[in-house]
């Protein structure tokens, strides 16, 4: 019995079992999404507070150096782990995997529910650190020892402990959810849904989840060891140190070991966030340009190749750490190699758009915006992947600009696009188009207004992580004007997100009814008997899949799309067509 | 193009040779592996857990190589004095023997589960759990010996490098937690076997899944034994 079917567990009836202690993947997905958005708002406010200090130094007295570093740290950690990872895997993964592969639910719904509640616990522990003596940790999101646990760093008493405990709890939650996602994709697909017929969204989330299951252990171990260094006084990462004139009791540990363990998680983490974005963007582009995705098989193999390669590039984050220079040669090479499958994906998106009938709907705008920001961020990644270019740039705003373009803004744009795209399936209503377009244009143009100048500041040599830039003669005075400009842009973008929130809430109750398939899409989630899909998703019988997910504008068809569960002849991917052709001869 | 027939739904992908054939087999209809989802999930979990222990052991090896203070000789530290002579590694040899034996009883329990011999299956599972509990008990004895008699602490070590104590307590502790969790897991499943729960559902695969976990914990111990005690 491989499926958790509707017959196995009864449909819940009370409010509590249906919406709170729910084991339904759709409800859990919404819970994950709303929690992640809430915590993301905290991170957004923190980033704007940081920008206030940088743009108008000293004007806001409550932002002292300690607070500034706490904002930096929490902004980074929340965005990378608690927002992006949780929203892509827990939110989109939970909602889309069972619906897109034609399953009735995840294979292990109880574990899935636990995953959400444990994630919520991790969020609460993290938020608790705002209210403990000393406040949250200000160690930087990488939490490098020795400084992260020594006095002098803000939050080195309680904040760092809560941070590490919260991360360990999050890893437990991610593992419980991740096991479900992987096994549901592998073992619970409906009849006809072979792996090579799955939508690229599922492929992206699937490979990202496998990576999460293999990369988070490294963060887990480094978190446990750092926690012991802090609480028990062990010396895993702590060398002999003289702090404020006093020799500490630590001796003989290796700070570089932490960096290796952290980045063995940290670099795959970039792709844990990026691969679901790649997948979702592929589906958005294909659907809204009414054209089959260019090079489906190549797209799948690129996702798999990126996933595998991302485990052997981690030390490119450590070119300035003092590790063996021969390592640098190896990791620079692998880093440049990983650009190849990534470039293939970008080419394929553009070739999908070429000569297609592009519908500039809001999800499509976000998808195209993603291609643009991801391309810019990816190209600066090639600069930073080379040791000799990285070393002078490593400590500057060039790096900040690079990673915000490539793994900050790009996945966020996809999240927005994905929400605008699948909102009609979740609620049965469309989001407001005008507000959506306003949201897109301000966010997209704001991205460039914020991050383009940062590249320039970085090349000028403006160091990152600094609280104030007084008395640095090499930084020209005009840099401050640029900083003020960036801050104004960041504030505008920050406020514009309220438009999105308003749209989200308003459309949930007042939006235009969407019907079951407003985008005329082929994938299974749009073919459910009810919208929003009911308990068990498919009514009496699970759908049967007859084709791949990209039969758009097939010549000679009545409609310009053929759903995956439609049995009519024609269409299919290259492989199916070849097979059919061979049969004819 | 439209008049081209699509392939029939029963054979979505035509068989292919070589590398393509591997892909087609793996991406097959409905299930990638011909096992129940529970077993597949346990395998994936164990793969993830392998990475945790791998990172722990890598971290241990790194600090052992980078520390400047000499590392204590494990065969002396873990020796027991029996009848006036110090026997190196004797306690650890006994613990290892117990744990490996428990894998044997576990394998027999799985065998009897699939024969639907409830009494023997449950008895062997409880025996496995008992051997596991013995292992944890001996580990507690070993920890007490190190802490009370040798004075080793996670943060300090009179015998040499302080990282000896840190890594030892962390890694054997984490493994001991796994064994303890396994003992509880096995006991619960064994009681359910006795209660006839799986007789009703007609499905004993949970015994095999619990067995997978147990064998994994044993296998990890072999690596800890090799890297920590024999190096």
Measured between alpha carbons, how far is A428 from A30 in angstroms, rounded to an integer? 14
Q: Over the Cα atoms of chain A, what is R_g?
A: 24
CATH number of B36-230: 1.20.120.80
Q: Supply the angle between the helices A255-288 and A362-385 in degrees, to the nearest 10.
A: 150
**Alpha carbons A284 and A201: distance in angstroms, whole number:** 9
pLDDT for res A10: 59
* C-alpha closest to that of B129 among B177, B81, B59, B190: B190
> What's the sign of the alpha-carbon dihedral A404, A408, A414, A420?
negative
pLDDT number for residue A579: 67
CB-CB under 8 Å, B5 with A569: yes
Distance between CA atoms of residues A238 and A11, nearest Å: 54
Would you call B65 an interface residue with chain A, using a CB distance cutoff of 8 Å?
Answer: no
Q: Tell whether the torsion through CA atoms of A125, A128, A132 and A137 is positive or negative.
A: positive
Q: At CA A415, angle to CA A412 and CA A419, rounded to 5? A: 145
Element (H, E) at A493: helix A478-510
Positions of chain B with pLDDT under 70: 1-17
Query: What is the rounded CA–CA span in Å between residue B205 and residue B198?
Result: 9
- Which of the residues in chain A have pLDDT under 50? 1-8, 584-585
pLDDT digit string (tens) for B56-67?
A: 999 999 999 888
Tell me whether B226 touches chain A (CB under 8 Å). no
Please indicate if any CB of chain A lies within 8 Å of the CB of B46: no
**Of B41, B44, B62, which is closest to A254 when you measure between CB atoms?**
B62
Angstrom distances, CA of residue A438 to CA of A312, A430, A444, A504: 41, 16, 10, 14
Q: Which residue of B has its CA nearest to A234?
A: B155
* Rounded alpha-carbon distances, angstroms, from residue B34 to A107, A188, A192, B30: 15, 12, 16, 10
pLDDT of residue B11: 44
Nearest CA to A385 out of A331, A340, A343, A344 is that of A331
Q: Which of A188, A191, A214 sits opposite B51 (nearest CB)?
A: A214
Residue B2: the pLDDT is 39
Q: Where are the domains of chain B?
A: 36-230
How many CB pairs below 8 A link A and B? Answer: 187
Reference A561, options A356, A292, A293, A296; nearest CA is: A292
| Chain A residues inside the 8 Å CB shell of B52 | 217, 220-221
Q: B81 touching A, CB under 8 A?
A: no
With beta carbons less than 8 A apart as the criterion, state whether A239 and A251 touch.
yes
* A532 prior amide bond cis, ω within 30: yes
Å between B198 CA and nearest CA of chain A: 13
Contact A292, A285 (CB under 8 A): no
Mark yes or no for CB contact A1/B203 under 8 Å.
yes
What pLDDT was estimated at residue A571? 79
Which position has the token pair 């409905």? B30
Q: Please confirm whether the linkage preceding A146 is cis (ω < 30° from 0).
A: yes
B45–A175 CB contact, under 8 Å: yes
- Interaxial angle between packed helices A574-584 and A296-309, expressed in degrees from 0 to 180 and rounded to the nearest 10: 140
Task: For residue A569, give how far its alpha carbon lies from the nearest alpha carbon of chain B (Å).
Answer: 5
pLDDT at A237: 94
Pick from B31, B47, B165: CB nearest A187: B31
Which ranges constitute the DSSP H helices of B3-36? Answer: 18-26
DSSP secondary-structure letter at B217?
Answer: H
Domain range annotation of chain A? 22-178, 360-514
């Amino acid at each position: 019995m491989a499926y958790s079917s509707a017959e196995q567990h009864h449909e819940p009836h009370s409010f509590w079992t249906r919406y709170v202690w729910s084991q339904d993947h759709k409800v859990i997905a919404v819970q994950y999404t709303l929690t992640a958005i809430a915590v993301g708002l905290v991170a957004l406010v923190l980033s704007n507070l940081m920008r206030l200090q940088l743009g108008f130094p000293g004007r806001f007295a409550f932002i002292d150096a300690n607070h500034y570093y706490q904002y930096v740290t929490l902004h980074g950690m929340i965005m990378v782990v608690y927002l992006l990872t949780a929203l892509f895997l827990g939110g989109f993964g939970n909602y889309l995997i069972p619906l897109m592969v034609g399953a009735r639910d995840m294979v292990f719904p109880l574990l899935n529910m636990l995953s959400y509640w444990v994630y919520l616990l991790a969020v609460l522990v993290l938020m608790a650190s705002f209210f403990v003596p000393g406040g949250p940790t200000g160690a930087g999101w990488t939490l490098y020892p020795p400084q992260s646990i020594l006095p002098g760093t803000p939050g080195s008493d309680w904040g760092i402990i809560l941070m590490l405990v919260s991360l360990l709890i999050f890893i437990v939650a991610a593992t419980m959810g991740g096991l479900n996602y992987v096994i549901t994709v592998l073992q619970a697909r409906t009849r006809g849904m072979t792996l090579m017929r799955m939508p690229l969204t599922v492929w992206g989330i699937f490979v990202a989840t496998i990576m999460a299951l293999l990369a988070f252990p490294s963060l887990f171990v480094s978190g446990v060891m750092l926690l012991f260094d802090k609480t028990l006084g062990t010396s895993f990462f702590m060398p002999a140190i003289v702090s404020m004139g006093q020799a500490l009791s630590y001796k003989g540990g290796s700070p570089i070991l932490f960096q290796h363990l952290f980045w063995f998680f940290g670099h795959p983490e970039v792709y844990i966030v990026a691969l679901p974005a790649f997948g979702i963007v592929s589906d958005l582009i294909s659907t809204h340009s009414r054209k089959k995705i260019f090079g489906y098989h190549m797209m799948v193999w690129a996702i798999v190749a990126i996933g595998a390669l991302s485990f052997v590039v981690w030390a490119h984050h450590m070119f300035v750490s003092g590790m063996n220079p021969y390592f640098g040669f190896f990791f620079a090479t692998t880093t440049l190699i990983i650009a190849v499958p990534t470039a293939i994906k970008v080419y394929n998106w553009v070739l999908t758009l070429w000569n297609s009938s592009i519908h500039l709907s809001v999800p499509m705008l976000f998808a195209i915006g993603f291609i643009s920001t991801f391309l810019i961020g990816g190209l600066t990644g090639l600069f930073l992947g080379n040791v000799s270019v990285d070393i002078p740039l490593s400590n500057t705003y060039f790096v900040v600009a690079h990673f915000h373009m490539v793994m900050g803004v790009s996945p966020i744009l996809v999240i927005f696009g994905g929400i605008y795209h699948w909102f009609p399936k979740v609620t049965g209503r469309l989001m407001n188009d005008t507000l959506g377009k306003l949201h897109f244009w301000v966010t997209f143009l704001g991205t460039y207004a914020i991050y383009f100048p940062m590249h320039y500041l970085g090349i000028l040599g403006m160091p990152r992580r600094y609280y104030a830039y007084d008395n640095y003669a090499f930084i020209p005075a005009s840099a401050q004007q640029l900083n003020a400009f960036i801050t104004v842009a960041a504030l505008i973008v920050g406020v514009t997100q309220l438009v999105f929130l308003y749209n989200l809430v308003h459309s949930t109750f007042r939006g235009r009814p969407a019907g079951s398939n407003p985008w005329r899409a082929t994938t299974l989630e749009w073919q459910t008997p009810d919208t929003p899909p009911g308990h068990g998703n498919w009514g009496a019988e699970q759908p049967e899949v007859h084709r791949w997910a990209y039969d758009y504008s097939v010549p000679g068809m009545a409609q310009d799309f053929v759903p995956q569960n439609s049995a009519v002849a024609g269409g299919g991917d290259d492989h199916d067509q070849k097979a059919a052709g061979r049969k004819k001869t | 193009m439209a008049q081209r027939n699509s392939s029939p739904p029963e054979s979505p992908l035509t068989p292919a040779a070589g590398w393509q054939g591997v892909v087609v087999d793996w991406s097959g209809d409905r299930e990638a592996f011909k096992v129940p989802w529970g077993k597949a999930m346990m395998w994936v979990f164990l793969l993830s857990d392998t990475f945790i222990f791998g990172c722990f052991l890598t971290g241990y090896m790194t600090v052992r190589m980078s520390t400047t203070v000499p590392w204590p000789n494990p065969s002396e530290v873990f020796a027991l004095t029996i009848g006036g002579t110090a026997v190196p590694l004797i306690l650890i040899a006994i613990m290892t023997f117990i744990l490996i034996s428990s894998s044997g009883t576990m394998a027999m329990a799985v065998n009897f589960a699939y024969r639907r011999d409830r009494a023997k299956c449950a008895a062997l599972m409880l025996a496995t759990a008992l051997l596991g509990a013995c292992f944890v008990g001996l580990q507690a004895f070993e920890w007490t010996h190190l802490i009370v008699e040798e004075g080793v602490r996670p943060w300090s070590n009179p015998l040499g490098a302080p990282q000896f104590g840190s890594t030892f307590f962390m890694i054997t502790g984490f493994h001991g937690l796994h064994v303890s969790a396994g003992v509880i897991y096995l006991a619960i499943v064994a009681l359910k076997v006795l209660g006839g729960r799986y007789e009703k559902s007609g499905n004993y695969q949970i015994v095999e899944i619990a067995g997978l976990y147990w064998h994994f914990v044993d296998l990890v111990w072999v690596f800890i034994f090799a890297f920590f005690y024999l190096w």
